[in-house]
């Protein structure tokens, strides 16, 4: 029997999957940016810095897409009875990660590391909620 509750749970799971896709891509970009950033810090030169910033831009794009997907996930989750009190807003703390004002490679590396940890934390929490939803289907 496909009832309204089943539909709402399925929609929430689908929204979680979209958010997880973007977060996984962001994490991958951040890992790559971190590697290039380390190389750049150790004297990699112009090309490594250019690649690092490209990866950072890719990560920032994916994080923006993840924020949109997390907002939809939050909305879909509110439709599922018993999940109205889950606070997804804590996952939406990603800010503008890479400001043009950061000139020192070390500061950029720290910012990349922080963004990567936030991304991993969001992935973990969303997977936990998604698994709970999957179990009650």
* Cβ proximity of 62 and 30 under 8 Å: no
pLDDT band at 103 (very low <50, low <70, confident <90, very high): low
Length of the chain: 137
Query: Rounded mean pLDDT of 9-23?
Result: 95
Concatenated DSSP letters of 102-130:
---HHHHHHHHHHHHHHHHHHHHHHHHHH
* Three-state secondary structure call for residue 98: coil
Q: What pLDDT, on a 0 to 100 scale, did the predictor assign at position 89?
A: 54
* Helical spans, DSSP H, in 42-104: 46-78
**Out of 75-79, 85-89, 120-124, 130-134, least confident range:** 85-89
The pTM assigned to this predicted structure is 0.82
Angle at 108 between CA 105 and CA 113, to 5 degrees: 125
Tell me, what's the pLDDT at 32? 95
Residue 61 near residue 76, CB atoms below 8 Å? no
| Percent of the chain residues topping a pLDDT of 70 | 82
User: Higher confidence at residue 40 or residue 99?
Assistant: 40
pLDDT tens digits, 53-79: 899 899 989 988 998 998 899 889 888
Query: Which residues, including other chains, have CB under 8 Å from residue 119's CB and lie 6 or more apart?
Result: 23, 26, 27, 30, 63, 66, 94
Cβ neighbours around 14 below 10 Å, total: 14
Q: Greatest CA span in the chain, whole angstroms?
A: 62
């Amino acid at each position: 029997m496909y009832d309204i509750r089943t539909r709402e749970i399925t929609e929430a799971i689908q929204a979680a999957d979209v958010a997880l896709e973007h977060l996984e891509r962001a994490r991958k970009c951040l890992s790559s940016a971190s590697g290039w950033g380390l190389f750049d810090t150790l004297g990699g030169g112009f090309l490594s810095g250019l690649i690092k910033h490209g990866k950072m831009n890719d990560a920032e794009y994916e994080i923006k897409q993840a924020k949109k997907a997390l907002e939809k996930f939050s909305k879909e989750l509110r439709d599922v009875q018993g999940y109205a009190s889950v606070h997804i807003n804590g996952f939406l703390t990603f800010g503008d990660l890479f400001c043009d004002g950061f000139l020192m490679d070390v500061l950029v590396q720290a910012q990349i590391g922080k963004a990567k940890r936030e991304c991993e934390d969001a992935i973990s929490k969303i997977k936990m909620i998604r698994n709970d939803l999957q179990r009650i289907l």
